Structure 1
Amino acid sequence: MKTVVLTGGIGSGKTTVAKMFAALGVPIYIADDEAKKLMVNSVVIKQKLTALFGEEAYIDNALNRPFLAKAIFNDKALLEQMNAIVHPEVGAHFEIWKAEQNAPYVIKEAAIIFENGSYKHYDCIITVHAPEAIKIERVLQRDDTSEEKIKAIMKNQWSDSEKIKRSHYVIENLNLDDTRLQVSEIHAKLLKLK
């Protein structure tokens, strides 16, 4: 079974594209969603995050997201330390999930595969991209955040042009009908891969 990774910067529309692949019957693993669950349910992660951030990392056994977001906002080293705790656990969880699937290929939707070097572990890379202004507009509509915070996240991610150079397929996500057509074409190609 092939392992395909679907990536793209914040606001590119990875989740929208993932849902289009899911509608075609492809098993989808949303790494960000699973990471959020593991940060609450994994004893190992909770112990390590508490050691890194202090007791404030959790309130009443729930992840203190505002506290963590503020702590890592302008501290790249701290962000990297947190990712070094969470990402290996998510990777192990993904492998267990993948072993339970029965399909020609599975898709892992993940944002920072290039930044952490994990892109080397996939059979195929699909990058979703859109112009920066559109990405910012999408995130402002979706999340309770500011343009400053979005741009800070973008600064910690590789540029689309760098991601595209290392990708097997690229989906330009501007118009849903066009995006759906691109997804169908890539799906047909992936089914032919041996």
Structure 2
Amino acid sequence: MLKIGVTGGIGSGKSTVCRLFSNLGLPVFYSDEVAKEIYNTNASVRKKIKRLLGEQAYDESGKLNRGYVASKIFNNKRLRESVESIIHPLVKKEREKKYREWKEEGHKIVIIESALIFEKGLHKELDAVIVVEADVEKRIKRICARDSVSYEDVKLRIGSQLDSKKRVEKADYLIYNNGSIEELEANVNFLYNLFKKLADEE
């Protein structure tokens, strides 16, 4: 079973790339969505996060206050690493469970989406990593529109992730997402056909 990682900076379009792979029938593990689910449903995690970041880390309905948490951790490395040490082992457990399920179901290619593939050493368990890149200004516009956050906040968030040049250097495959959705789709289709050939040769 080929395990393909998809990563990229915030606002690069990595989730769109994953959706396009999903439309082609490939199962996708969305690390961020799984983490969100754990934050919102795991009582032990909720307790630890509140202890670390304060009661405001969750809203009245018990959902993670993402804006508040982001503002606390994005420019505080120590806090960010503490939060990651709570959530990442649980996300890993879920990912390994999915690997077993997908193998049993006979899938030959699976996609793992994560913003932190290189930072957290996840690339070591993958067969290849696709890096999705886009111009910084394009990324900022996308995030401002999507998350209703300020330009300055977005610049901070971009600054806290592995810088683009380093990501590009580590990529096995690179997609530049500065054009139309049709161009992006063509790139994804090309890689899909390539991975199918590789999977058949295994």
Q: Structure 2-normalised TM-score?
A: 0.89
Q: Distance in 2 between matches of 1:121 and 1:191?
A: 19
Which residue pairs with 1:128 in the alignment?
A: 132
Which residue pairs with 2:110 in the alignment?
A: 106
Deviant stretches of 4+, over 4 Å: none
Which residue pairs with 1:178 in the alignment?
A: 183
Which residue pairs with 2:164 in the alignment?
A: 160
Q: Distance in 1 between matches of 2:137 and 2:39?
A: 31
Q: Is 1:4 aligned to 2:4, yes or no?
A: yes
Give the superposition deviation at 1:32. 0.8
Query: After superposition, what is the alpha-carbon deviation per residue over 1:158-191, rounded to whole angstroms, capped at 9, x for unaligned?
Result: 1222111111111111221111111111111111
Give the superposition deviation at 1:107. 0.5
Structure-to-structure mapping, 1:77-156, within 5 angstroms: 77-101=78-102, 102=105, 103-156=107-160
Which residue pairs with 1:26 in the alignment?
A: 26
Q: Counterpart of 2:11 in 1: which secondary structure?
A: coil
Q: Structure 1-normalised TM-score?
A: 0.92
Contact preservation (8 Å) 2:12, 2:134:
yes
Query: After superposition, what is the alpha-carbon deviation per residue over 1:67-98, rounded to whole angstroms, capped at 9, x for unaligned?
Result: 32232242121011101111111111111122
Contact preservation (8 Å) 2:75, 2:160:
no
In the alignment, structure 1 segments of 5+ residues that lack a partner are none
In the alignment, structure 2 segments of 5+ residues that lack a partner are none
Q: Counterpart of 1:6 in 2: which secondary structure?
A: strand
Q: Is 1:187 aligned to 2:189, yes or no?
A: no
Which residue pairs with 1:71 in the alignment?
A: 72
Contact preservation (8 Å) 2:74, 2:160:
no
Q: Distance in 2 between matches of 1:66 and 1:159?
A: 22
Moved more, 57-66 or 159-168: 57-66
Q: Distance in 2 between matches of 1:167 and 1:73?
A: 24
Moved more, 65-74 or 94-103: 65-74
Contact preservation (8 Å) 2:27, 2:111:
yes
Give the superposition deviation at 1:38. 0.6
